Each structure stands twice: as C-alpha cells, then as structure tokens.
Amino acid sequence: MAGKVTLLLWAQTVFLAGATQLLVQPPWTPAVLWDRVTLTCQGSGTAGDTAWYKDFGIWRIEGPDSFTVTESGIYWCYRPGTGVSPTVRVSDDSLVLQVPARALLEGDTVTLRCRGWRNNSVASVSFYRDKEELMSPRGRTELSLPRLELQHSGRYRCEGWTRIRGWEKSAPVPVTVQELFTVPLLEGPPELPEGSPLNLSCLSTPSPLRPPAPLLYRFYRDGQSVGGPQGSPQLLVPAVGVSHSGNYSCEVRSEGGTVRKSSARLGVTVRMPVANATIAPAPPALQVRPGEPVTLRCSVQVGSAPVTFTWLRDGHEVARGPLLELGDIDVGHSGTYQCVATNQLGQDGHRVFRALSPELALQVTPLGAAGHPWSTAVAVNVGRTLLYLLLLLAVIGGCRWWHRRALRKEQESNPQEPPAPPEEGAALEPRVGKERAGGDHEELPGPHG
C-alpha cells in the first residue's frame, strides 16, 4: 500500500532501527529446507536471551542468536529490548515460488524463481499474479520484473510439471512494492503581490526501508520547465511580475530516472498591488502665514523597498524623498501639492507600482500693509465704520431736505395778504419792541417823552 513502510513477505522483513530483525540466509522467501537455511535474530539485549518460536508456539527459551534450520515451519524470535521479530517460513513443498527476501521498492529489478523439491527439474512453468497469467518465456523457471511499480503488488504463484508428483501449483507468495518516495506535494502561496519573492517547495518523503538515494527535482509552469533538474526541492524567484502567474507543478525522479512522480498543479496569481500614498497633514487644504515652517510627509501602506517619493507642485517636480521641508515659506510657495510613490525593481527598471496621493492645496496668507497680520483686519473694520457714517449722513440730509420741501409746499398752498398801504400824510410809527404774552405789545417812548 502507498505510504506505508512495512514490507510483509514470508521471509526476512526489514524494520526500522530499534526493532527486532530475523535474517534468513540464503535471502529468499519462503526459504526451502534443502538450502541449509540459517536464521539469525538481531535486536538489543544480552546475548543468549533470545527466545525462539515455531509454528505459533514456544520452541527454545534462552537459545542462541543463530542456528541452522532442520525442520520446515514458521519461525520468529523475541529479544527483551526490542520485542518480537517478523516471521520466516521454511518450506519443504514439492514446488515453491521464491521472492528475494528484502524490501522491494519502486524501480527495482526483481527475479522470481519457481523451484522443484530438492532442485528437481520443473517443465512447462507458468507464472501468475492473483488470477492473471503473466507473459513469460514458456518453460523458463525464472520471471524477471524490471522497474517495479506499485501496481506490481499482489499474490504470486507458479505452476509446472514435476517428475515426482506431475502437475503442481505452488503456494501463493504475497509481494508488496513500496514507494521509493512519496508523490510530491507542491507548496507555495496561491496569490502574492508583484515584486514579492516566490518560494515553491516540492515535498517528497524517501522510503525509510533503504538508505536515502539522491533525488532530482524539476519545476514547471503551464507545462514549460522553469527550474531544474536540481538537487534542491526549492524554487526561488526573487521578485515576481504578472507574467509569473500560472499553474505550477514539480517532478521528482530517482537517480537514473527509473522512478518519476509529478505533483498536482498549484495555481499562482501575481497581482499588481494597490498602493495608496498619503500626505500628512491631510488634504484637501492647508492655510499658513508667511515665515511659518511647513513640512509635508508622504507614505505608502504596501510595496517593497526601495520606494521612491517625488513631490509635485502644480504638476511640476519640486523635490524627492518622503519629506518635503519648505522652511520659512512665502506667498510663492502657494499651490497644489501631490506626492508620487513608485517602486522599481532590478536593473531592468521593472515597475511594481505607482501611487498618487490626494492633492493638498497650500495657501500662504499675505501680511497686511503695516507689516502685521492684524493690519488687514483693522483696515477692513475702519472701512466698514466709514461706510456706516456715510449712510447715516445721507439719511440725515435726506430727512432735512424732505422737511424743507414739506414747508415750502405748505406756504405755497396758504399765502398771507400783504398789509394795507398807509394813508397819505400819515406818519409811520416804528414798531420796535417785543411781543408780550397774550398778544400785547410794549410801546417805546416817543421823541417827546
């Protein structure tokens, strides 16, 4: 089964370090009695503490670590420090199919052999995996399986004509082909901003049943090779652009290329970052007086260094850098300011982003005629006062004119009769005196007293 590390055969099984192992010599499974088979128990513990079991029962207690088998059956051993070993079958059948007693991994070349009792000849041999007959040269007692694959796992047996018992079938032997390395898994970010580094990892675990062999890695984007073959499982792109978007995959192969496995596709999207440049103080308007120091600051929220800042006034470049220090400003500094943030990457000048800040209207208020900021306000108040006085005088003059006109109209509508002329010879008496109250007059004395 894919992903497991244990190979179970009727023979020696290699376990992880620290487990009890049962070695068989010659290294075939099942072993045959006429080959003079030697079994060796390996594990931690004191020599002589090995316990042997045969046919599912205790056979020897405190026996030797190694001995030569004289009886057919199923054997295994026990060591106090590492426990029980796997089993080994020693056969004495008239027809036996043997498989090498070792871990079988992908890419291996394996030879199966069909043997008669005590090496008697076998004719018309056929090989089977499960119920399927395998193509092999007719009559040959060996079957070669080059470049093992996982699909070669199964129960194998052979059939043939023996001189002793005629047509015979061997007992089935389970064969499990283990993975040389697991199917690779490609890991990486599915989405990242332009200009960021892209790091892809092709993860594959070698089988622990055999010393690790060198593996070679190759990377693809949309079916085209973009990296390798190489010994490193990493693909690093220092800075990506939009053109690096696509479906990535990796391939792992063994040394010599006998085993190759490819990962599933990983979609990677490179997006242009949306950078927002901001100005402090915040737009839209800033009013200052001449002589005041003004400093504008520009910043961005996204983007990789180095970021270049350019300052514009009324659309024309005036400075560079994140800070614009105007110092003691005057009326000439008035205008519309804007910051432009850009990021250029590499020697080819590849642009990652270009961000414009909101516009800031800077207004420098001019000083008054007296040279003080409050002189303008005083002039305005005096002008307003004079205007009020003019309006008041106009109202008074209008009222006087209206009153005179009304008197004139009244006199014209009621005229007075002129006094009668004096009689001839009469002397005019001057009326020099004051009118008294009630209409009486005070007469002044005449010339005669």
Structure confidence by residue, pLDDT tens digits, 91-110:
999 999 999 999 999 999 99
**338, 310 in Cβ contact below 8 A?**
no
DSSP letter (8 states) at residue 209? T
How remote is the C-alpha of 302 from its chain's centroid? 13
- pLDDT beyond 80 at 31: yes
pLDDT reported for residue 7: 30
From 51, 53, 50, 42, select the one nearest 18 (Cα to Cα): 42
Question: What fold does the segment set 99-179 form as a domain?
Answer: Immunoglobulin-like (2.60.40)
Cα–Cα separations (whole angstroms), residue 215 to 110, 228, 298, 324, 428: 22, 12, 51, 56, 157
List strands edge to edge, sheet with 323-328: 277-280, 293-300, 323-328
Structure confidence by residue, pLDDT tens digits, 122-151:
999 999 999 999 987 777 999 999 899 999
Judge whether 99-179 and 277-364 match in fold: yes
Structure confidence by residue, pLDDT tens digits, 159-203:
999 988 899 999 999 999 999 999 999 999 999 887 789 999 999
The kind and range of the H/E element at 249 are strand 246-254
d(CA 227, CA 247): 14
d(CA 264, CA 203): 12
- pLDDT beyond 50 at 204: yes
Q: Where are the domains of the chain?
A: 1-92, 99-179, 185-271, 277-364
Average pLDDT of the chain, as a whole number = 81
pLDDT reported for residue 96: 97
Backbone φ, ψ for residue 401 (5° rounding): -65, -40
Q: Is 332 helix (H, G, I), strand (E, B) or coil?
A: helix
- pLDDT beyond 80 at 8: no
Q: What's the predicted TM-score (pTM) here?
A: 0.57
Segment 367-378 mean pLDDT: 48
Q: Which CATH number fits domain 1-92: 3.40.1000.10, 2.40.50.140, 2.60.40.10, 2.30.42.10?
A: 2.60.40.10
Structure confidence by residue, pLDDT tens digits, 307-363:
888 989 999 998 998 888 887 788 888 899 999 888 765 444 455 567 888 888 888
Q: Where are the beta strands (DSSP E) in 163-211?
A: 166-169, 173-175, 185-187, 191-193, 198-203
pLDDT reported for residue 363: 87
| CATH class of the domain comprising 277-364 | mainly beta
* % of the chain at pLDDT higher than 70: 80
| CATH class of the domain comprising 185-271 | mainly beta
Backbone φ, ψ for residue 117 (5° rounding): -60, 130
Structure confidence by residue, pLDDT tens digits, 215-244:
999 999 999 999 989 999 999 999 988 889
Segment 289-311 mean pLDDT: 79
- pLDDT beyond 60 at 12: no
